[in-house]
Amino acid sequence: MTRLIFLGPPGAGKGTQAQALAHAHTIPHVSTGDILRGAVAQQTDLGLKAKAFMDEGELVPDSLMLDLVRDRLSQSDVAEGWLLDGFPRTVNQATFLDQVLNDIRQSCDYVINLDVPDDIIVTRLLNRGRTDDNESVIRHRLEVYREQTAPLIDFYRQRQQLVSVNGNQPVEAVSRDLQQAIQSA
Ligand code: AP5
Ligand code: MG
């Protein structure tokens, strides 16, 4: 059984690593960014409300995020494990997640922090070219990360759940270090 949270700045490789690990462990990769982009593409009520925040690189308000995550973690396919990518992103979301996991009698095994320097991130994301991957929005996502999400590194470190991995290496090397870190943590 594997339950991991992927933390880390935009473009750190959370999605890339979580997807590979989810495939290897046959457990769902739950990316709040992917869920929101799906909602935007389908023009659902959630998507219509979230789009402007995502386009600006701002966090989507908790009034839209929290129920979404609670509902997703209550579904049967995640009962045996999950890889959470992009949630929590604030201390408030982390506290909420604690409550949800407590309610469904689950706990997170580790929180993976992928470290990548800002200049590498900007280059990676400009090459990818998602709608929120232009230089000013990328830089704003990095600021939002530093102000609102980076405090979670200490939050989880103090609880001895944090595992840091150097994300500034080829994808396969990051995967290898990640596997080793989880096994030896
Ligand atoms: P989200 O989709 O989570 O985006 P993000 O955090 O900005 O991160 P990315 O998906 O851009 O990067 P990643 O770390 O997944 O890296 P990836 O593997 O893709 O969130 C988007 C928006 O949704 C937010 O701005 C917000 O508005 C909203 N949102 C989402 N969750 C929310 C929440 N909880 N609360 C509120 N709002 C929320 O890799 C990036 C690129 O690099 C790819 O091209 C990849 O191929 C490449 N790459 C990956 N690894 C390597 C490597 N080792 N070497 C070289 N290239 C690599
Ligand atoms: Mg991603």
Out of 4, 5, 14, mutate this one to test ligand 1's pocket (max ligand atoms within 8 Å of CB): namely 14
pLDDT tens digit sequence for 116-153: 999 999 999 999 999 999 999 999 999 999 999 999 99
The CB of 86 under 6 Å from ligand 1? The reply is: yes
Calculate the dihedral angle through the C-alpha atoms of 129, 27, 144, 71, rounding to the nearest 10 degrees. Answer: 110
Give me the residue spans of the domains in the chain: 2-177
**Predicted structure pTM score:** 0.97
Calculate the dihedral angle through the C-alpha atoms of 55, 95, 155, 53, rounding to the nearest 10 degrees. Answer: 10
Candidates 3.30.565.10, 3.90.1300.10, 3.40.190.290, 3.40.50.300; CATH matching 2-177? 3.40.50.300
pLDDT tens digit sequence for 40-55: 999 999 999 999 999 9
Q: Contact at 8 Å (CB) between 92 and 158? A: no
